[in-house]
Amino acid sequence: MEENDKIREKVVRLEERLRASDKALEIARESMTERLKGMNEFRDQLKDQAATFISRTEFESKIETLKSGRRDNIAIAIAVVAVLIALLKDFILH
């Protein structure tokens, strides 16, 4: 085999390797694009979900309102019991 033939053969093999490398790079690029697309969709879902969550400030405000309402209800219940006791006392004594 002549020297020129050897060189041509090496060039052909090198070109084949370059084409294979380019193809592998394109496949990897497409795979990464799809992966990033999926990650962005997931991130958007998390953002949408987080928008429906109650904030800490709002939660604490609601809890305080409930506690306040509960204290009011307890005070009313105590007053009702006191009135009932007074009525029962009057009823029993008379």
pLDDT number for residue 86: 86
pTM as predicted: 0.49
Q: Residues 3-10: what's their mean pLDDT?
A: 90
More confident residue, 49 or 73: 49
Report the amino acid identity of residue 41.
E
Q: Mean pLDDT of all residues in the chain?
A: 90
* CA Rg value for the chain: 40
Beta strands in the chain (DSSP E): none
Which secondary-structure segment (H or E) carries 36?
Answer: helix 3-51
b/e code 27-55 from CB counts within 10 Å (16+ = b): eeeeeeeeeeeeeeeeeeeeeeeeeeeee
Q: What confidence tier does 26 reach under pLDDT thresholds 50, 70, 90?
A: very high
Task: State both tokens at 82.
Answer: 């006191």
Question: Could you tell me the pLDDT band of residue 1, with boundaries at 50, 70 and 90?
Answer: low
Q: Is the pLDDT of residue 29 over 70?
A: yes
Nearest CA to 82 among 74, 94, 70, 93?
74
